[in-house]
Structure 1
């Protein structure tokens, strides 16, 4: 895992957070769902952003710092998948950050 990837991901998540703060709920809700619906909270950008920050926090956890440990490799994979699935279309993404198929 590179420090550049972690730094870049933090930047992308910060952009998401700033963008979400300026948007009305109707923009992030699926068609047919209103902000008053109990399901609306599932689509809240704050929830998604918090989950992405949790993935990065799990990677930084000292208990997962040993790359010889399965859990560390799993955390590494999760960070790479986050970058690929959420941000690979943004400037600065590097294909070398994609998770290995193994």
Structure 2
């Protein structure tokens, strides 16, 4: 199982092996990566460094948690935290002169 998918499932408090559920979670992970990629955060070389990778993964987890479930009372707070972290990451990524394609 993909390491990020596994981390997201733990954050969602689900460890059930269900292909349909995993596909839905993966779709949200892809959506988060796409949203982060708009700012150049997912594919930038700096995102692969250990300390930055953890922050990018946390942003993806917050995105997925904010979009998971229909009756999520914490969705607004998680989305706000995601947007705050995304803003912080975008500022830090601007100072990196090396920008190469490299996926998390």
TM-score by length of 1: 0.40
Q: Which has the higher contact order (CA 8 A, sep 6+)?
A: 2
| Higher-Rg member (1/2) | 1
